[in-house]
Amino acid sequence: MFHVTPLAEALSLAIDHFSNFSAKKVRVELSQALGCYLCGPVSFEEFVPDFNRSTVDGYAVRAEDIRGCSESNPGLLRLIGSVEMGNHSDLRIDSMTAVMVPTGAEVPDGADAVVMIEYAEKFNEDEIAILKPVAPGSNMVFRGDDGKAGEILLDKGHRLRPGDIGSLAALGVTEVEIFKPLKLGILSTGDELVRPSEKPARGQIRDVNTPLLEAFSRQMGFEPVVHNFIQDQETLLDAALSQLCESSDCVLVSGGTSVGVRDNLARVIEKHGQILIHGLAVKPGKPTVIADIGGKPIIGLPGNPVAAYFMTRMLVKPLLMKLINTESEEISVPAKMAAAYSSNQGREEFVLVHLEDGMVSPIPSKSGLITNVSRANGFIRIPRDSEGLAKSDEVRVIYL
């Protein structure tokens, strides 16, 4: 048995240890930036909008000129012209005048509100009748309402969503400086492994962790660097790990959960670097290793794919996110246990579940085979000090 560290403690220790990790930066075109992480804040460089703008088809007015008007007692204003969409207008609204403005067009200086076209009628050649008063500021946006030059819109480390791409375009940002996608070295080890395309002989299993971790890297916005899986031999491991340390920013080595093999990984790491954590108080995921080779995080993941899944999501992801100034937020929803679930005290436990109509059913799995991740739509965390959950207990489900 080996000493195990609580996950939260291990994560926080690793974050501290790698606090000097410096991710490369790169400029990309906006159209390539979806899902990338900003390496600096983005601020408004100009006023948005840069002019007073109508939000309706209507008439730009001074609100005070039509105070108290009504259908029976309309306010008469002199119509002094109209603004063309997309053009600046030199028209100026003075007392008792109005200008026609389409949606999105500039509201001329002097106006402080727009009356919707529905509440105005042509009175004669030069005049319109306003049938309803408006409050100052109605149906228009003032210059800078959505952003003032210098104001920060997106923080350093923010991962760009479609709406952010729109926002950046609105600010005139067409190239954006991002953290260069981290290269994640991926290496599966194990004498029992065969390629997914092969039919395993009795006693063999397919290498699931390579495609799993490759997909995970992509989903996180990182770049997978895949090494072919290797057998559990120290010299092979040394060569493969050295190669991945050269070409990657972080290496995920999975497998080697049995004592002898774990020792191989430990020996190879100690030859080139330093082990920070060996063993976590978590289920599944106990035989996880966190190490440092040349300032790069090397994570030894369990060979069991479900354990590798949880440790990638709950340890590797938040660690790497933090290294590029990003908070990794898991979205969880409250729900109730549909059945009791007993847990090992002393180890935090992750349990795959099916959430439906607010009720949580744990997915029974002795083996923790990866297909259960496909059967699940979420998982729950059971704290270290809990002996389990009773039926109807409140839990939070994290979506897969």
Binding to a copy of itself, residues 203-242 (CB under 8 A): 203-212, 214-216, 218-219, 232
Residue from 86, 124, 294, 357 binding a copy of itself (CB under 8 A): 86
Site for a copy of itself in 335-364 (CB under 8 A): none
Token representation of residue 101: 């403005």
> What is the closest distance, in whole angstroms, from the C-beta atom of residue 293 to a copy of itself in the complex?
25
**Beta carbon nearer to a copy of itself, 47 or 96:** 47
Question: Reduced to 3 states, what is the DSSP secondary structure of residue 263?
Answer: helix
> What is the closest distance, in whole angstroms, from the C-beta atom of residue 205 to a copy of itself in the complex?
7
> What is the closest distance, in whole angstroms, from the C-beta atom of residue 86 to a copy of itself in the complex?
3
User: Binding segment for a copy of itself among 65-73, 178-186, 191-199, 267-275 (CB under 8 A)?
Assistant: 191-199
User: Binding segment for a copy of itself among 5-13, 161-169, 243-251, 380-388 (CB under 8 A)?
Assistant: 161-169
Token representation of residue 309: 């899944």
> What is the closest distance, in whole angstroms, from the C-beta atom of residue 30 to a copy of itself in the complex?
6
CA distance 113 to 136: 5
HEC readout, 183-245:
EEEEEEECCCEECCCCCCCCCCEECCHHHHHHHHHHHCCCEEEECCCECCCHHHHHHHHHHHH
- Pure H helices in the chain: 7-17, 162-170, 209-219, 234-247, 259-272, 305-311, 317-323, 371-375
Residue 367, interface with a copy of itself (CB under 8 A)? yes
Confirm if 124 and 141 have CB atoms less than 8 A apart: no
Residue 371, interface with a copy of itself (CB under 8 A)? yes
Residue 332, interface with a copy of itself (CB under 8 A)? yes
Residue 47, interface with a copy of itself (CB under 8 A)? no
Residue 104, interface with a copy of itself (CB under 8 A)? yes
**Beta carbon nearer to a copy of itself, 160 or 338:** 160
Residue 179, interface with a copy of itself (CB under 8 A)? no
Provide the pairing of β-strand 175-179 with 25-29.
antiparallel
Site for a copy of itself in 115-154 (CB under 8 A): 118, 137, 140-141, 145-147, 153-154
User: Binding segment for a copy of itself among 10-18, 235-243, 293-301, 369-377 (CB under 8 A)?
Assistant: 369-377
Among 66, 141, 147, 137, residue whose Cα is nearest residue 106: 141
Confirm if 196 and 206 have CB atoms less than 8 A apart: yes
Residue from 74, 185, 279, 303 binding a copy of itself (CB under 8 A): 303
Considering only CA atoms, give the Rg of the chain: 31
CA distance 126 to 137: 25
Residue from 10, 11, 83, 186 binding a copy of itself (CB under 8 A): 83
CA distance 262 to 295: 21
Residue 51, interface with a copy of itself (CB under 8 A)? yes
